[in-house]
Amino acid sequence: MGFADHFPALIVVVLFIAAFVSPLLFRWVEKATAPFVIAALVAALIMTTALLVRVQQSGPVLYHMGGWAPPWGIEFKADLLRIFILLIVISVSLWIFIYAVRDLKHELKKEVTGWYYTLFALLVGSMTGMALTNDLFNLFVLMEICAIAACAIISIKEDRECLEASFKYLILSAMGTGCFLLGVAMLYMATGYLNYSLLQLELVETLTLYPRNIFAAAALFIVAFGTKAALFPLHVWLPDAHASAPSPSSAMLSGLVIKIYAFALFLIFYQVFPRELLDLIPLNEIILWLASLGTMFGSIYAMLQTDLKKMLAYSSIGQIGYIFMGIGFDHNLALIGGFYHIMVHAVTKAMLFMVAGVIIYSTGVRQIKDLAGIGRVLPLTMLAFTIGSASMIGIPGTGGLISKWYLSLSALEIGRPFFVLIILASSLLNAIYYMPIVISAFMHQEDFQFKVKPVPFFMQAALVVGMFFIVIFGIFSKPVVTLLEQAVISLF
C-alpha cells in the first residue's frame, strides 16, 4: 500500500503528535511551538484535500486500524460528507489559531500558553477523529477527549466566572457521556456489534426482536448529543461557557465543537439506526420541534442581553437550531441546507467572536451600550461585524441566505409550510438584536468614549479572510452545493 493510503489515520496522528510534543517544545524552544502546531494543521489540511480528490474519484475509503477487519478491529471511514466536515474543522481551526497566537498574549499568563497550544491541538485532533470514526466505542473515547479539552480551554484563563462556567459545562457534559455509554450498552446487548455498518445490517432484524432496547438507545443518544450540542432544553451551559472564555476559545467552541456533536448525531441516526425505526417512533419530529423552539428562544434570550459575548453565545443556540432542523426534516434538500449552514455558521460565528476579541483587546469594552460610535474608530472591525450580522440574518449576498433557502425549499417540498414561517420569524428576530449594534456603531451622534489601542496586523488579516469567505459562500455557492448533493444521494 502506498503512503497515501494511510491518510485517514495520519490526519489524526499528526494532530496528536503536535499536542504531545508542544509542552516539551514550550519548555525548551519557546518560539517554535506555535509554528510547529501551524505546520501540523497545514499538513492535516493537505492530507484531507488529497483524500477528498481520491474519494471523489473512487468512492468511500475504509481504513482498518492495525490491519484487523471489523468486528475485531476499529475502522475509519472517509466518504464525501465526512471529508466535507473535516475540511471545515481543520481550515477554521487553522484560521482561529493564527488569530489566537497574537491574541493570547494579553489574555493568559505566560507559562500556560504552551498548555493552551496542547489543548487546542488535542481538541482539533479529537474532532477530526470523531468525524472519521466508524466505531461506537472509539467515538466515546474521542468524545471524552473533546469534552475535557473544550472545558480546559475555557478554564485556562482562571477567572472566577470561567472556572464556574467550565465546571457546569463539565458536569452536564459528563451526564451526556453517561447517557451515551448506556445507549451503547443497550445496542451492544441486543446485537453484539459496535461498528456502524455492521450495526445497521444487524439492527433491521433486531428491531422486531428487541424493540425496547433500540428505543431506549435512540432516546439516550438524543439526550447525550443534545446536551453536548446545545439542543433547546439542554442548552443551559452554553451562555456562561462561551461568554467567559478567552476569545479564541469562544470562537473555537461556538464555531466547531457544537457542530461536530450534531454531525455525530446525524451519523448515528442515518448510518446506524435503520429507516424502519422512524415508522415506529417519530424521532425526526421530536428533533424538528425542539430545534424550532431553539431557534425562537435563542433569539428571544439574545435580545435581552447586555454583554456582547453573551449575546453572541445565545445567538449560537438559535443557529444550531437550524442545523438540527436540517437533520429533522428527513429530506435531501434539508440535509444540504443543514450542512451548508454548518460551514457558514462556523466561519461567521468564529469571525464574530474574533470581532468581539478585537474590540476587547483594543478598547476593553464588553457592554453593548458602550459600543456607540465605535464604527468611526475601528472601521475594518465593524465592517466585519456588519457582514457577519448580515450572514446571520440571511441577507442575499452572504452565505446565510443559501442555507435558509434550502431549508425553506425542503419545508415546502414535504408539505409543511409552517416551518418556512418559523425560519422567517427567527431571521426577523436575529435582525432585531444585530442591526441596532451596527446602526449605533456607525451612525451615533457622539464620538466613542474610550481609549483605542491600534489593532495588530494578524488580527485584521484574520477578519479580512473571514469577510472574504462569507461573501464567497453567498455568491459562488454552486461548487459546495454540488458536492453536498453528491454526498447526500447515497443516504436516500
Residues that bind another protein (CB under 8 A): 6, 9-10, 13, 16-17, 20-21, 23-24, 27, 63-67, 137, 140-141, 144, 147-148, 151-152, 155, 158, 160, 163-164, 166-167, 170-171, 174-175, 177-178, 181-182, 185, 188-189
Using the minimum distance from each CB to another protein, give the nearer residue, 86 or 438. Answer: 86
Closest CA relative to residue 198, chosen from 225, 206, 81, 65? 206
- The contacts of residue 470 (CB under 8 Å, 6+ apart) are 344, 347, 348, 351, 387, 388, 391, 398, 399
Report in angstroms how near the CB of residue 48 gets to another protein at its nearest: 16
Collapsed DSSP state (helix, strand, coil) of residue 208: helix
Using the minimum distance from each CB to another protein, give the nearer residue, 240 or 330. Answer: 240
Closest CA relative to residue 82, chosen from 17, 127, 119? 127
Other residues' Cβ atoms within 10 Å of the Cβ of residue 154: 26
DSSP letter string over 314-360?
HHHHHHHHHHHHHHHH-SHHHHHHHHHHHHHHHHHHHHHHHHHHHHH
Using the minimum distance from each CB to another protein, give the nearer residue, 174 or 471. Answer: 174
Report in angstroms how near the CB of residue 13 gets to another protein at its nearest: 6
Q: What does the alpha-carbon distance between residue 205 and residue 202 come to, in Å, rounded to a whole number?
A: 6
Alpha helices in 257-331 (DSSP H): 258-271, 277-280, 283-303, 308-329
Using the minimum distance from each CB to another protein, give the nearer residue, 177 or 284. Answer: 177
**Region for residue 397 given its phi and psi (left: phi exceeds 0; alpha: psi -120 to 50; beta: otherwise):** left
Closest CA relative to residue 441, chosen from 381, 357, 352? 381
Element (H, E) at 76: strand 75-78
Q: What does the alpha-carbon distance between residue 81 and residue 86 come to, in Å, rounded to a whole number?
A: 9
Report in angstroms how near the CB of residue 224 gets to another protein at its nearest: 12
Written as nine digits, the cell of 35 is 509554528
Q: What does the alpha-carbon distance between residue 291 and residue 318 come to, in Å, rounded to a whole number?
A: 8
Report in angstroms how near the CB of residue 25 gets to another protein at its nearest: 9
Report in angstroms how near the CB of residue 42 gets to another protein at its nearest: 19
What is the distance, to the nearest Å, from the Cα of residue 333 to the centroid of all Cα atoms in its chain? 20
Report in angstroms how near the CB of residue 151 gets to another protein at its nearest: 7
Report in angstroms how near the CB of residue 148 gets to another protein at its nearest: 6
Using the minimum distance from each CB to another protein, give the nearer residue, 223 or 467. Answer: 223
Q: With contact defined as beta carbons under 8 Å apart, do 426 and 72 qualify? A: no
Using the minimum distance from each CB to another protein, give the nearer residue, 136 or 327. Answer: 136
Using the minimum distance from each CB to another protein, give the nearer residue, 13 or 52. Answer: 13
Using the minimum distance from each CB to another protein, give the nearer residue, 79 or 164. Answer: 164
Report in angstroms how near the CB of residue 411 gets to another protein at its nearest: 35
Q: With contact defined as beta carbons under 8 Å apart, do 15 and 121 qualify? A: yes
Q: What does the alpha-carbon distance between residue 407 and residue 360 come to, in Å, rounded to a whole number?
A: 35
Closest CA relative to residue 81, chosen from 216, 330, 264? 264
Q: What residue type is 429 in one-letter code?
A: L
Using the minimum distance from each CB to another protein, give the nearer residue, 63 or 210. Answer: 63
Report in angstroms how near the CB of residue 315 gets to another protein at its nearest: 24
Other residues' Cβ atoms within 10 Å of the Cβ of residue 93: 29
Q: What does the alpha-carbon distance between residue 258 and residue 265 come to, in Å, rounded to a whole number?
A: 11
**Region for residue 288 given its phi and psi (left: phi exceeds 0; alpha: psi -120 to 50; beta: otherwise):** alpha
Using the minimum distance from each CB to another protein, give the nearer residue, 178 or 417. Answer: 178
Report in angstroms how near the CB of residue 179 gets to another protein at its nearest: 8
Using the minimum distance from each CB to another protein, give the nearer residue, 24 or 201. Answer: 24
Peptide bond into 71 cis (omega under 30): yes
Q: What does the alpha-carbon distance between residue 269 and residue 264 come to, in Å, rounded to a whole number?
A: 9
Report in angstroms how near the CB of residue 181 gets to another protein at its nearest: 5
Using the minimum distance from each CB to another protein, give the nearer residue, 15 or 287. Answer: 15
Report in angstroms how near the CB of residue 26 gets to another protein at its nearest: 10
Other residues' Cβ atoms within 10 Å of the Cβ of residue 449: 12
Written as nine digits, the cell of 32 is 517554535
Using the minimum distance from each CB to another protein, give the nearer residue, 170 or 222. Answer: 170
Report in angstroms how near the CB of residue 232 gets to another protein at its nearest: 17
